[in-house]
Amino acid sequence: MRPRIPLRKRLLVRLLVATVLIALCSVGATAWLAVQTTTRAIREEQGQDLADDMRILAQLSGYAATHPDWKGVAPTVRALSKKMGRRIALTTSDRTLIADSAAHGTSLPPRAAASVDPLHTDTYTEPGAQLSGLDPRVVGPYRLTAKERVRLAGLAKERQACFKQNGIDTTITMTPSGRPVLTDADGNNANGNVPEPCADGKLNAPTVTESKALKSLLVSARPCLERGGVTFKVPYFGVDVFDKSLGSRYTTGAYNKLGDSADIRKAEACTDSARRAQLDPYVAPVAELFLGGGDTTAPRFDVSPANKAKVVGAAAAVLALTVLLTAVVATRLVRPLRALTEAAQQPPELHVRVPVRTRDETGILAEAFNDLADRRERMEAQRKAMVSDIAHELRSPLTNIRGWLEVTRDGFVEPDPALLGSLHEEAMVLQRVIDDLQDLAAADAGTLRLHREPVRVEDLFDQVAAAYRVTADTAGVVLLTKADRTLWLDADPVRMRQVLGNLVSNALRHTPADGTVTLTAWREGDRAVLTVTDTGTGIAPEALPHVFERFWRADQSRSRRTGGSGLGLSIVRDLAAAHSGTVEAASTPGSGSTFTLKFPDSPTPEGS
């Protein structure tokens, strides 16, 4: 059995790969051209639309961050819609309408553009982006009173002056809670590296409002901290509203294990959860934002001459690549086929082979062609040998008959009974050879007729043993039979006796005196197994594969009278095949041979 062609070697796969490559090039070129030929106006409008969407979301998030509900949002929605030229609608999570700039009854877009949730989405820190975290505009109980703002503003100016005396220029930035923060030239928190004369600790100390809110935050966070195994070494309150992360924005104490990242993460998580719960009453509920298109029409774009040239050039390049790949693949496919055609057109007697250079379908085809040439050469040699063997088998008896007839005609020998018996024996040899050849010809042509009927194997063995009993007794060989009485075959009894007779005849011919030839039969599954075993000289291992070839003899020195015509085992093989059976030979030189026949088992006929 030939090994399967590797997937990567198959011609179909190669053609598919080439096709996919061409398709990818085409799609890639088309996509590139689509991007390149899109006008700047469309790109700018798309960018403007996205920026407008983010501005709408940021403004509505700011409203939610500073109002406990959405009751007064309708004017803001209408003003934004008029300014942006977009339809704006707000609904609750279950699609209950809160406010809509469109006329009453207008259906909503199929999907919401965003969720307005300042407790979890920050649209303030980085304009044009949605960050995960708390919107800094959600200040709730941390909003400073007017008096606290004035006091902190004064402290900020004093610290700014101190920084300036130390060579550091800063700017005062006001946070949503009303707390001033000093920033450097890059916009970063200038309190990260405070000069020692300026480090009075007043500006960043929590105010009364913040301390009250922080105490409440600490009370809310403590159960979560205790469940997480986080304890405090020295409880204190600190605030750094410039930092946008909750973990350091409101610090609730010094951890028991300073620098323990696991405890820090637990504390930050607890603080974060408690902080959102603390601010929730001051923030409007989560809302879904729906945005519709405006009245403006997107500008059309034209293909410029330069872009037209790009389109034509890309199409020509794809076409050239297609032609090149197709030519390469076609050439590799056609070359071995041409070699096969040229070899097939050579004279038959040359038995030309083709080189096998690949392992794909064409390589397998070349191997099959070479195998066919080998078989044809062997068959031609066998045909010539068979003609020679037939001529030899017929020549010898015909020469004997002719010689005796000529000397009898010339009067040198009297036609007595002994002479006539010898001539009759030679004629019988010719008849046997012709009959065997006729059987083989019928088997080869598929015209061998079988008259099937139920046959008991035991009866078949008895008939064959009776036919060869005299021959066995004359040779001094014991002929034994042993068969299962319930074993039946659906077979031609005449042909089956011919099969077993040929095997028994060969066994008797090669078994010396005092030897044994045994016929045995038994059932093996759904098969009937018949064996003919002798205790003769056996067959050499190198000769065993040839025993069923025509005109082959184990001992080439034996004549046709002592060694047979050389067709008996060939007839056995063909008749077994005609009965849907098989025949095998096994032998040990000096110990004998065993020929095994296997046929389909047949059920016992009714009444037998």
CATH number of the structural domain spanning residue 133: 3.30.450
Nearest alpha carbon to residue 194 among 218, 170, 226, 215: 170
Q: What is the pLDDT of residues 432-469, one digit of tens each?
A: 667 766 776 676 666 677 888 999 999 999 999 998 99
Find the helix or strand (DSSP H, E) in which 288 lies.
strand 287-292
- In the three-class reduction of DSSP (H, G, I as helix; E, B as strand; rest coil), residue 482 is classed as strand
| Cβ-count burial 312-332 (b if 16+ within 10 Å, e if not) | eebeeebeeebeebeeebeee
- Residue 534 is predicted with a pLDDT of 95
Task: List, in sequence order, every residue forming a beta bridge with 289; answer none if it has no partner.
Answer: 90, 114
pLDDT band at residue 236 using 50, 70 and 90 as cut-offs: very low
- Residue 12 is predicted with a pLDDT of 57
Q: Are residue 106 and residue 203 in the same domain, yes or no?
A: no
**Contact between residue 527 and residue 600 where contact means Cβ atoms under 8 Å apart:** yes
Q: Domain holding 564: CATH number?
A: 3.30.565.10
Per DSSP, the chain holds a count of helices (H) and strands (E) of: 14, 17
- Kindly state whether residue 351 falls inside one of the protein's structural domains: no
DSSP structure class, residue 4? P
**Contact between residue 597 and residue 530 where contact means Cβ atoms under 8 Å apart:** yes
Q: What is the average per-residue pLDDT within 269-295?
A: 85
- Residue 176 is predicted with a pLDDT of 86
- Kindly state whether residue 240 falls inside one of the protein's structural domains: yes
d(C-alpha 11, C-alpha 18), whole Å: 10
Q: Are residue 148 and residue 24 in the same domain, yes or no?
A: no
As a whole-number percent, the residues of the chain with pLDDT over 90 amount to 22
pLDDT band at residue 189 using 50, 70 and 90 as cut-offs: confident
- Kindly state whether residue 507 falls inside one of the protein's structural domains: yes
Q: Are residue 461 and residue 596 in the same domain, yes or no?
A: yes
pLDDT band at residue 532 using 50, 70 and 90 as cut-offs: very high
**Contact between residue 393 and residue 433 where contact means Cβ atoms under 8 Å apart:** yes
Strand 516-524 with 478-483, pairing: parallel
- Residue 310 is predicted with a pLDDT of 79
Q: Are residue 199 and residue 118 in the same domain, yes or no?
A: no
Q: Are residue 309 and residue 193 in the same domain, yes or no?
A: no
Q: What are the DSSP E strand ranges found in 501-546?
A: 516-524, 527-534
Q: What is the pLDDT of residues 579-603, one digit of tens each?
A: 899 999 999 888 899 999 999 988 8
- Kindly state whether residue 350 falls inside one of the protein's structural domains: no
Q: Are residue 126 and residue 144 in the same domain, yes or no?
A: no
d(C-alpha 237, C-alpha 217), whole Å: 10
- Kindly state whether residue 59 falls inside one of the protein's structural domains: yes
d(C-alpha 591, C-alpha 593), whole Å: 7
- Confidence check: pLDDT of 296 > 50: no
Cβ burial, residue 476 (10 Å; 0-12/13-18/19+): exposed
Q: Are residue 157 and residue 182 in the same domain, yes or no?
A: yes
Distances from the Cα of 307 to the Cα of 25, 29, 37, 298, 322, angstroms: 18, 13, 6, 20, 22
CA 224 to mean position of chain CA atoms = 51
- Confidence check: pLDDT of 502 > 80: yes
Q: What is the pLDDT of residues 383-405, one digit of tens each?
A: 776 666 666 667 767 887 888 88
Q: Are residue 230 and residue 258 in the same domain, yes or no?
A: yes
- Confidence check: pLDDT of 70 > 90: yes
- Best-predicted range by mean pLDDT among 26-40, 143-157, 202-216, 323-337? 143-157
Which domain, by its residues, includes 133? 41-138+286-291
Q: How confident is the prediction for the chain on average, in pLDDT?
A: 79
Q: Are residue 146 and residue 269 in the same domain, yes or no?
A: yes
pLDDT band at residue 295 using 50, 70 and 90 as cut-offs: very low
- Kindly state whether residue 427 falls inside one of the protein's structural domains: no
Q: Are residue 130 and residue 167 in the same domain, yes or no?
A: no
- In the three-class reduction of DSSP (H, G, I as helix; E, B as strand; rest coil), residue 173 is classed as strand
- In the three-class reduction of DSSP (H, G, I as helix; E, B as strand; rest coil), residue 387 is classed as helix
- Kindly state whether residue 477 falls inside one of the protein's structural domains: yes
Number of domains observed in the structure of the chain: 4
Q: Are residue 546 and residue 533 in the same domain, yes or no?
A: yes
- Kindly state whether residue 423 falls inside one of the protein's structural domains: no
Q: Are residue 12 and residue 73 in the same domain, yes or no?
A: no
Q: What is the pLDDT of residues 338-357, one digit of tens each?
A: 788 788 888 877 788 888 87
- Confidence check: pLDDT of 560 > 70: no
Q: Provide the residue count of the chain.
A: 608
